[in-house]
Amino acid sequence: MDIANMKKCFEGLRTPFYYYDTVLLARTLDAIRHETDRYEGFHLHYAVKACANPKVLRQIQQAGFGADCVSGGEIRTCLENGFPAGEIVFAGVGKADWEIELALEAGIQYFNVESIPELEVIAEIAQRMGKVANVSFRINPDVGAHTHAHITTGLAENKFGIAKEDMVRVIRIAKQMPSVRFVGLHFHIGSQILRMDDFEALCYRINEMQDELEAEGITDVRNINVGGGLGIDYENPDEHPVPNFKAYFETYARHLKLRPGQRLHFELGRAVVAQCGSLIARCLYVKQTATKQFVIIDAGMTDLIRPALYGAYHCIQNLSSTAPAQTYDVVGPICESSDVFAKDCQLPETKRGDLIAIRSAGAYGETMASRYNCRELPRSYTTEEI
């Protein structure tokens, strides 16, 4: 939707809210489907943590994707929104007993297990419930990624996964447990990764591990799950509304040596939903101080925490003004100095009441919102609803 149209549609709505462009989401899902269909055994479990908005989830489910969940709450939300339990995988370093029970009761596809103590608890609970738990092991590949330190996960120093040196041992332990079935390996090296050579490095590491397993006589690795991580263009959302899925899936097709019949699972989150979401706010005040000009908007870090937490850049647009640009700091109303969306940002001259769009906010926006300062959680609209 272009800016003039957006302004017209948003005019009467109470701000702040998330706007999800479901036409763009459909285009994005089509692009993924087009690429994954080119290769045998490629399957996507959407990473629900990126955006769990029911309207978005339903559209993703209807496009035929499964779900990657990291909590009992996410599993419940997915079941409520039409995902068959058999299409859900469950990851996370700290699964609580009730979450394991919920997953076993529902009959999810498999658990991504991150430690031996966790494996033991899953086995015990499954045995008590008279079930067999499908488990895949998250192995820490010790592969770095060129991204923000807070969102790199695949290094030996990170808390995630089982050390690759322990891989054979944990698989052997699992194989001796009657209430557990070993179904695969899981990896994830980080998020907002734009360099395909990072994913390529993961492929080489997995190839080495598969050779090692074969040498040890372990030949029943049914699924290889490579996590998510594909980044998006935060600077130019209108030039690159759909991420480069072709390059991403091609990297795996070229460099990962799958064994016959083996399935390759992906857990993309950000790349699926980031560009279709915008946080829409209104300018409350324009405040001039000795050194700065502030645009104070009615959305804050409680609605979108990425700039405050990671120093993340989001493109900001004034939907109401075409006046010549001025330099502003765009800030929220929260009582925290870090409640800043952008510093020294060029915007058309802005006035009280102008509509402001913070772009590329579909991923890790609404899901990370909080009620700090007793604020309401942001509401949301899709293209069909405005």
Note the residues at the interface with ligand LLP (CB under 6 A). 47, 50, 68, 91, 151, 188, 191-192, 227-230, 267-271, 306, 310, 363-364
CB of 279 to ligand LLP, least distance (A): 13
CB of 23 to ligand LLP, least distance (A): 21
The answer to whether the beta carbons of residues 326 and 345 sit under 8 Å apart is: no
Written as six digits, the tokens of 211 are: 């050779």
> Prior bond to 16 cis, omega within 30?
yes
Amino acid at 213: L
d(CA 147, CA 377): 29
Closest CA to 356 of 333, 330, 385, 334: 330
Q: Cβ closer to ligand LLP: 59 or 136?
A: 136
Q: Cβ closer to ligand LLP: 270 or 375?
A: 270
Q: Cβ closer to ligand LLP: 47 or 283?
A: 47
Contacts of the segment 91-94: beta carbons below 8 A, 24+ positions apart: 91/138, 91/186, 91/267, 93/159, 93/160
Q: Count CB neighbours of 101 within 10 A.
A: 16
DSSP β-ladder status, 340-348 and 42-47: unpaired
CB of 114 to ligand LLP, least distance (A): 9
**Within 13 A of 133's CA, how many CA atoms are on the CB side?**
30
CB of 55 to ligand LLP, least distance (A): 19
CB of 151 to ligand LLP, least distance (A): 5
Q: First and final CA of the chain: distance in angstroms?
A: 12
Closest-CB residue for ligand LLP? 228
Q: Cβ closer to ligand LLP: 43 or 351?
A: 43
Closest CA to 251 of 60, 42, 66: 42
Q: Cβ closer to ligand LLP: 29 or 271?
A: 271
CB of 32 to ligand LLP, least distance (A): 12
Beta bridge partners of 266: 44
CB of 202 to ligand LLP, least distance (A): 12
CB of 310 to ligand LLP, least distance (A): 6
CB of 191 to ligand LLP, least distance (A): 3
d(CA 300, CA 374): 12
Written as six digits, the tokens of 214 are: 């074969």
Amino acid at 117: P
In DSSP notation, 28-39 reads HHHHHHHHHTTS
Q: Cβ closer to ligand LLP: 43 or 131?
A: 43
Q: Cβ closer to ligand LLP: 158 or 326?
A: 158
Q: Cβ closer to ligand LLP: 268 or 297?
A: 268
Q: Cβ closer to ligand LLP: 328 or 364?
A: 364
Beta bridge partners of 328: 345
